[in-house]
Structure 1
Amino acid sequence: MQHRVVNGTDVLAFWGELDAWADQELTPRVTALLDQAGHRVVADLRKVTFLDAGGLRLLVRIRQYVAAGQGTLWLVPGSPRNWRVLRITRLDRTFTIPACPPYTGGRPGARTGHH
């Protein structure tokens, strides 16, 4: 995972497999970053190659943590596989999934939830 701030938005960019191991390893690091983050957070999954229940658990924790601090979380699923996992679990209805991520480097016209 990489953290950067772009135009006042904290971007958490994940890559590789987002699974139970990643959830266990990344939760303390993500929590520490979110303690110091602003109120605008993006979870960027465009480079995630595998997403399962453990990865979804991490994303839900991030969403809950950001919401508890009165912040906004945007989720950028990226691949069709990630979209499918979000749709099957109906989490596409829970997360804010923008057509264009709210940070530099967004791709206009990207798919949004409920597809």
Structure 2
Amino acid sequence: MVIEGHGFGSRERPAGFGIVVELSGEMDILAATELSGRLDEITGGRHPDVVLDVRAVTFMDCGGLSLLCRARHRAESRGGSLRLAGVAASRSVRRLLGLTGLARYFVIDEAAGLAGPLPGAAEEFPARGDAFPGLGDAYPGIGGDGDDGAAAGAAIA
């Protein structure tokens, strides 16, 4: 199924383990509203195994992040799993997961559902945050390069 809206899109494709949902464009409140029903269907079965490929996401705000969190929660509460792929390729998703500290709650698997690892992606990603204290090592642009919002976060703390 393909869903397209103003500035965003999604495309589903079966994989040997379950389903890959490729998200693209701007994942904001509008996209979350349009896509949540379909993701609820996908994660509503028994033991859903879902990969959300976010490499083509160009922008994500709290609406898009909420969409990811809801899908993860639904999949896991039904005995399934939800993995994120393409995080290394999407600066917006990578940055938001790092700034909010939510990266540790997701299984980030760059090669899941893809033909192979994305260029420049780390070869191995641990399940749930073991290597995400600052995200700087696994994800350039988060934690330490001066362009990650750390100053803003320190100002709030």
1:43 to 34, 49, 52: 52
Higher Cα radius of gyration = 2
2:61 is aligned to 52
1:87 is aligned to 98
The reply on whether 1:107 has 2:117 as its aligned counterpart is yes
CA distance in 2, matches of 1:31, 1:39: 11
CA distance in 2, matches of 1:92, 1:106: 22
Please state how far the C-alpha of 1:34 moved relative to its aligned partner.
Answer: 2.5
Please state how far the C-alpha of 1:103 moved relative to its aligned partner.
Answer: 2.4
Please state how far the C-alpha of 1:9 moved relative to its aligned partner.
Answer: 2.4
- Higher RCO structure (Cα 8 Å, ≥6 apart): 1
The alignment of Structure 1 onto Structure 2 pairs a total of residues equal to 114
Could you state the TM-score of these two structures normalised by the residue count of structure 1?
0.87
For residue 84 of structure 1, what is the amino acid of its counterpart?
R
The reply on whether 1:27 has 2:36 as its aligned counterpart is yes
Q: Any stretches of 5+ residues in structure 2 without a counterpart?
A: 1-9, 126-130, 136-157
Name the % identity.
33
CA distance in 2, matches of 1:35, 1:41: 11
Higher helix share: 1
2:78 is aligned to 69
Q: CA 1:9–1:106 in structure 2 vs 1: closer, same or farther (change >3 Å)? A: farther
Q: CA 1:13–1:97 in structure 2 vs 1: closer, same or farther (change >3 Å)? A: same
CA distance in 1, matches of 2:114, 2:90: 19
Q: After TM superposition, where is structure 1 displaced by more than 6 Å over at least 4 residues in a row?
A: none
CA-based RMSD: 1.9
